[in-house]
Amino acid sequence: AQTVTQSQPEMSVQEAETVTLSCTYDTSENNYYLFWYKQPPSRQMILVIRQEAYKQQNATENRFSVNFQKAAKSFSLKISDSQLGDTAMYFCAFMPPNSGYALNFGKGTSLLVTP
Amino acid sequence: GAVVSQHPSRVICKSGTSVKIECRSLDFQATTMFWYRQFPKQSLMLMATSNEGSKATYEQGVEKDKFLINHASLTLSTLTVTSAHPEDSSFYICSVQGDHINEQFFGPGTRLTVL
Closest CA to B10 of B109, B95, B106: B109
**Helical H runs in chain A?**
none
In B, what residues contact A, Cβ < 8 A?
32, 34, 38, 42-46, 49, 57, 91, 93, 95, 97, 101-102, 104, 106, 108-109
> Residue B57, SS3?
strand
**CB within 8 A of A105, min separation 6: which ones?**
A4, A37, A91, A92, A93, B43, B44, B45
**CB within 8 A of B80, min separation 6: which ones?**
B18, B19, B20, B21, B67, B68, B69, B70
- Which of B102, B108, B109 is nearest residue A52 as measured by Cβ atoms? B102
DSSP β-ladder status, B10-13 and B19-25 = unpaired
CA pair distance B30, B40, nearest whole angstrom? 28
Partners of A93 in beta bridges: A35, A105
Number of Cβ atoms within 10 Å of the Cβ of A70: 15
Give pLDDT, residue A99: 67
Tens-place pLDDT, residues B70-84: 988 889 999 999 999
Mean pLDDT in order along chain A per 10 residues (115 residues): 89 98 94 94 94 92 96 97 97 84 92 97
Q: Strand order of the sheet with strand B19-25?
A: B4-7, B19-25, B76-81, B67-73
Q: Which residues of chain B have pLDDT under 70?
A: none
In a mutagenesis test of the A interface, which of B43, B95, B100 is the best target, namely the one with the most A β-carbons within 10 Å? B43
Number of Cβ atoms within 10 Å of the Cβ of A11: 16
